[in-house]
Structure 1
Amino acid sequence: MTTSATAPPRGAGESAPSFGTGPRLRRRLAGLGLLLAVLAACAALSIAVGSRSIAPADVWSSLVAPDGDESSTIVHALRLPRTLLGAVVGVALGVAGVLMQSHTRNPIADPSLLGVAYGAACAVVLSIFLLGLTDVSTYVWFAIGGALAASVAVFAVASGGSRGPTPVTLLLAGAAMSAMLSAVTSAVVLLDESSLEVYRFWRIGSLSGRPEGVTAQVLPFVAAGLVLALAGSRGMNALALGDDVAASLGHRVRLVRASGVAAIALLAGGAVAAAGPIGFVGLVAPHAARAVTGPDHRWLVPYAALCGAALVLAADVAGRVVRGSGEVEAGIVLAVLGGPFFVALARRRRLIEL
C-alpha cells in the first residue's frame, strides 16, 4: 500500500523571490550606480548654475564649510533648498507614475488621471477665494488635502461594482472627477481676480518662488507614499498577471489596489502641493526605468524614483540657462520635451498594454 503526501500550498516553504542573479543583477546594480551618478551631477549643476554661476570649488566649500560670503549665502538660502525640493518632487512623481501605469495597465497614464492635480488646484483656489490665503506655505496644506480627497473619492466611485476597483473603473472615475473639479476651479478663477493671479503661477509648475519650509511640509507625505509603494511591489507584480491570478496566488487584490491608490495620492499630492502640477515626469520616468528593469516593481520603483528626480532637476537647470536674463519654469521645459516623447510612445503599438 502506498501513501501519497499532500503537496504544500504554492509558496509554502519557499524563500522570497530573488532580485535577480548573474548578469541581470549586475546590470541592474550598475544601472542604479549610473543613475545615482547622474542624479548627483544634476544636483551639482542645480546648485552651481543660475543667474550667478558658482565655481565647483566654491560650491563644495560652501557646502562643507560655509563662511557667510555671497556664494555661501546663495547656496544655502536659495540653491540648496530648491535642489532638495526638486529631488523630492521628482522622486514622488516618478514613483506615482509607475503605480498609476501599473494599476490602470495603461502605458500613457500619469498621476493626474486620478484627479490629484485637479483636486489640489481646486482646494488652492477655494482657500484663496473663501479664506483669503496668499502664502504658499499656508495653502500647501489645502493642496495636499484636496489631492487626497480627490483620490479617495475616485477610489470610492471605482469600487462601487461587484468586482471592486478595476483599471477601467479607475480611469473613468478619475476622468469624471477631474472634469468636475476643473469646472469648479474655472468658475472660481473667473469670479475672483486674486485667485486667478495666484492660480496662474501655481498651475505652471515650478521650483522657484517656493518658501524654504515647503519641502519639510510635504516630505512626510512623500515618505509615506514611498513606503507603501515599496511594500506593495510584490503585490503589483502579481496584479500584472491579472486580478484572478493574483488572488489565486494569495494576494488580496482590493487591499493591493487600495494601498496603491493611497500611495499615488500621497506621492502626487505632496509633489503637486509643493511645486504645482509638473507634467510628463510621471509618464517619462517609468518608461526610462522599465527599459532597464523590466516589469519587476521591486526594481522599477527605485529606478523610477531616481529617474524622476534627475529629470526634474535637469529641467530646472535647463530652464535657468535657456534664457539669458530670466528663467523658464520647469513645468514648461518638461512640457516641451515631454510632448514629443508622448507622441512617440503613443505610436508604439507594442506598448498599448502593460
Structure 2
Amino acid sequence: MNPSISNLYQVIVTLLFVVSIALIALEKIERHKIAAIVIAILLAIRAISFEDFVSFVDWDVIGLIICMSIYSVILEISGFGKWIAYEVVTKVRRPLLLLYTIILFSGIVSLVLENSVTVFIFAPIAFEIASILGIDIERVLIGMALTAGMAGSATMVGDPPAIIVAGRYNLAFTDFIIYRFKPSMFFIIFTPMIIATAIYILQNYRNLKKKYIDVVKVDENYIDRKFVLETTIFLFVKVALLSFRKELGIPLTLSAIVALAGLYTTRLVIHRDFKCIKKSIRDGLNYKLPLFLIAIFLLSNSLKKYGVTDTIAGFIIGNIGEDIFILGMAIFAISAILSAFIE
C-alpha cells in the first residue's frame, strides 16, 4: 500500500476510535448505532476488506455471547435467581448479615447471568428487606449493582471482555480460577469483593436498630424447582465443556450450544414447554451487543493493521520504561479509569 494512503488510513482509524469512545462515554447515542456507523465507515472507505471483516472478528466469541444471552433468559424464566434469593432470606435472620449475604449473592449469581438481569431478579427481595428494616432501597440496589459488576470479570462466562480474552488466548473456564498453578481472576476479584461488601454494609447500616427479622415474604410457589434443577445441570455441562475445551479441542460456541440443545430437548420432550423456548430465543437473540462487539473487533484490528497500536505501545514504553511491573500497573490504571466512564 502507498505510504501516504496508509498514513491517511492511520489518521482516519485513530479519529474514528477517539470519536467512538467519546460518543459512548457521553451516552447520547446508543452504542449499537455507533457500532453500525463505525462498521459502515470502515467498509465504505475501504480501510478494511471483506477478508479483513471475516478474519478480524472472533466469531467464536460472538457465538458464545449469543448463546449465553439466550441461556441467561432461560435462567431468569426458571426462577434460578429467585430460588437462591429465597434460600438466603429464609435462613438468615440478622439484618446486617442478611444485607451482606443478599448483596454478595447478587455478585455470585452474576457469574452466570448478565449484571442487569441479576439486579432485576434480586430487586423485589431487596425492596421487601428494605421495607421491613425501614432503610433506603437505593443503597441496597447500589450495593447489588457494584457486586454484580465486579463479579462479571471473575469467570469466563461473566462478561464479554472475559470471553474475548478467553477466545484470544485459548483459555479454559478453569484458567479463570487457577492459571499456571496460581490463583487467577476468580480469587483476584472475589477476595476484594467480599471485603468491599462488608465495608459497604458497615458504612451504611452499622447503626440499624432492628437486630432480628421475623419473616421475609417470598413467593416460593412461583419457583419451578424442577426447572431450576434442569437449568443448573446443563449450566454445569456448559462449564465442564468450557473447562476441558482445550483437551477436547472444541470451540467456545459448541460448549454453549450443547448445553442449550440439552435443555431445549428436556423442556420439549418432558414438559412440552414451547413457550419458554420461544421466549428465550426472542429475548436472547439481541443483535445490539454482538453488533457492538463486531465493531470493537474491527476497529481494534484496524488500529493494529495501520500501526496505531504499535505507535501507542512505543510511546508508553518510551516514557515509562520497560519494567513489566510498572507497565502493567500503568495499563491497569488507564483501563480502570476508562472503565469508569465506558462500559
Same fold (TM over 0.5): no
**TM-score, normalisation: structure 1:** 0.29
